[in-house]
């Protein structure tokens, strides 16, 4: 690689890092506004114009808060757990295509890496994410954290299967594991049309994997206070928060890429160069709003309902859906 290739790569990585580090601030604000409107209350409205600086102020508060470590915790693991939470969430962003290739002196793809095993890399990183939860819950030496970690590990392993089955059906249609190829394969028809069932399965699994309502059993505040991160404070706690929002964004980006044609859409007149990125961001925003909507409207599942729903309903549907997809593909070719 020459100098410019290195520079472009480092710029891309830094862009992902900044997105990760600062993305949570506007997202938290938006979520609180949306929740406020849906629950007939104001939401944040004091700091800045209509409360627009609220989450920046919260971030500042977390930054200067004391970093508490419980006396009888397992110090090494306790220290490492937030890192383990953040690392896979950031690594998985490397394969997300934000837009098509653009010409800027040389051809630059708007993604960090086009792996030929792309979507499997995402699944692998998603399965590593559970370690942050398990390590934090175990090392805190607290009942609530322990229970949260137990729930999370069982829940994430189970819903990973659902997600894998949904992704496999898409791979069968696209004939490739690379996300760029998957987006290109949707030139004629977005995969949500032939794979509506796969799309629904993926959305269910995405909500469960990110531990969001109505599947937020690992941190159910009415019973477990805050679940696996109950003992954390200050910046360490902020890491968990950032990882949660980065994972939500990642899932929204993956739904857009796998089922809604990624950056594909009509070319916007006047903004030809940017229209791909704009379409992609619009689709991501739609799903982020969906996450907020779910949280505002759905009551939390009971834990046995959650597991039964996965193993007795979603996984059988996923297997049948996969078989049908494979059969249709065989019939076509």
Partner 1 sequence: MADNLETTVAFWYLAIAAVGAGALMLVARNPVHSAISLVIVIFHVAGLFVILGAGFLAVAQIAIYAGAIVVLFLFTLMMLDMRRLPNERVTHRQIWLGIPLGILLAIEGVVVSVGTPEISASIKGTFPPATISELGGSTQALAVALFNDFTLPFLGASVLLTAATIGAIVLARRVESHEQADFPQAAKESSPVETPAEPSSAEPVPEESAR
Q: Of 130 and 242, which has the nearer Cβ to partner 1? A: 130
Q: Does 317 bind partner 1 (CB under 8 A)?
A: no
Nearest approach in angstroms of CB 299 to partner 1 is 19
Dihedral (Cα; 22, 23, 25, 26), 10-degree rounding:
130
Nearest approach in angstroms of CB 13 to partner 1 is 16
Beta bridge partners of 102: 108
Residues between 94 and 123 that touch partner 1 (CB under 8 A): 115-117, 120-121, 123
Q: Does 249 bind partner 1 (CB under 8 A)?
A: no
- Other CB atoms within a 10 A radius of the CB of residue 209 amount to 24
Residue 73 DSSP code: S
Residues between 204 and 223 that touch partner 1 (CB under 8 A): none
Cβ neighbours of residue 285 closer than 8 Å, sequence gap 6 or more: 252
Nearest approach in angstroms of CB 117 to partner 1 is 5
Beta bridge partners of 327: none
Residues between 61 and 80 that touch partner 1 (CB under 8 A): 74, 77
The tokens for 108 are 């630059």
Residues between 290 and 309 that touch partner 1 (CB under 8 A): 303-304, 307
Q: Which of 52, 127, 184, 233 binds partner 1 (CB under 8 A)?
A: 127
Q: Going by DSSP bridges, is the β-strand pair 106-110/99-104 parallel, antiparallel, or unpaired?
A: antiparallel
Nearest approach in angstroms of CB 15 to partner 1 is 23
Question: Interface with partner 1 by CB under 8 A: which range of 3-11, 40-48, 150-158, 325-333?
Answer: 150-158
Which among 215, 206, 116, 218 is positioned nearest to 164, based on CA atoms?
A: 206
Q: Does 149 bind partner 1 (CB under 8 A)?
A: yes
Q: Of 32 and 229, which has the nearer Cβ to partner 1? A: 229
The tokens for 259 are 């089922």
Nearest approach in angstroms of CB 238 to partner 1 is 23
Q: Of 138 and 259, which has the nearer Cβ to partner 1? A: 138
The tokens for 275 are 């229209």
Q: Does 154 bind partner 1 (CB under 8 A)?
A: yes
Beta bridge partners of 109: 101
Q: CA-to-CA distance for 9 and 171, rounded, in angstroms?
A: 27
Q: Which of 134, 182, 206, 248 binds partner 1 (CB under 8 A)?
A: 134
Helices and strands of the chain, counted as H and E runs:
12, 2
Given the structure tokens 């708007």, which residue do they identify?
110
Beta bridge partners of 103: 107
Give the total residue count for the chain.
333
**Residue ranges that bind partner 1, judged by CB under 8 A:** 74, 77, 115-117, 120-121, 123-128, 130-131, 134-135, 137-138, 146, 149-150, 153-154, 156-157, 160, 177, 303-304, 307
């Amino acid at each position: 690689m020459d100098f410019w290739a290195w520079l472009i790569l480092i710029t891309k990585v830094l862009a992902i890092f900044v997105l990760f580090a600062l993305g949570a601030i506007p997202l938290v604000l938006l979520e609180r506004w949306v929740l406020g409107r849906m629950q007939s209350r104001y939401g944040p409205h004091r700091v800045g114009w209509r409360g627009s600086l609220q989450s920046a102020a919260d971030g500042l508060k977390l930054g200067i808060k004391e970093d508490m470590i419980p006396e009888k915790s397992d110090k090494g693991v306790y220290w490492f757990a937030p890192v383990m939470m953040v690392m896979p969430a950031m690594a998985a962003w490397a394969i997300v295509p934000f837009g098509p290739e653009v010409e800027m002196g040389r051809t630059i793809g708007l993604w960090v890496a086009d792996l030929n095993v792309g979507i499997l890399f995402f699944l692998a990183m998603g399965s590593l994410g559970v370690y942050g939860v398990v390590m934090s819950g175990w090392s805190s030496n607290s009942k609530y954290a322990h229970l949260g970690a137990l729930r999370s590990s069982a829940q994430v392993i189970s819903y990973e299967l659902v997600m894998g089955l949904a992704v496999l059906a898409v791979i069968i249609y696209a004939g490739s594991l690379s996300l760029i190829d998957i987006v290109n394969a949707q030139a004629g028809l977005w995969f949500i049309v032939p794979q509506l069932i796969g799309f629904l399965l993926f959305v269910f699994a995405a909500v469960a994997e990110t531990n969001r309502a109505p599947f937020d059993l690992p941190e159910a505040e009415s019973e477990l206070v805050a679940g696996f991160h109950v003992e954390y404070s200050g910046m360490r706690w902020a890491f968990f928060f950032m990882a949660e929002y980065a994972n939500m964004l990642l899932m929204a980006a993956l739904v857009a890429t796998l089922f809604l044609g990624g950056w594909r859409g009509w070319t916007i007149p006047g903004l030809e160069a940017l229209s791909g990125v704009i379409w992609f961001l619009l689709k991501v925003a739609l799903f982020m709003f969906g996450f907020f909507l779910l949280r505002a409207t759905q009551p939390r599942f009971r834990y046995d309902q959650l597991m039964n729903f996965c193993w007795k309903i979603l996984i059988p549907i996923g297997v049948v859906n996969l078989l049908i997809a494979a059969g249709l593909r065989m019939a076509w070719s």
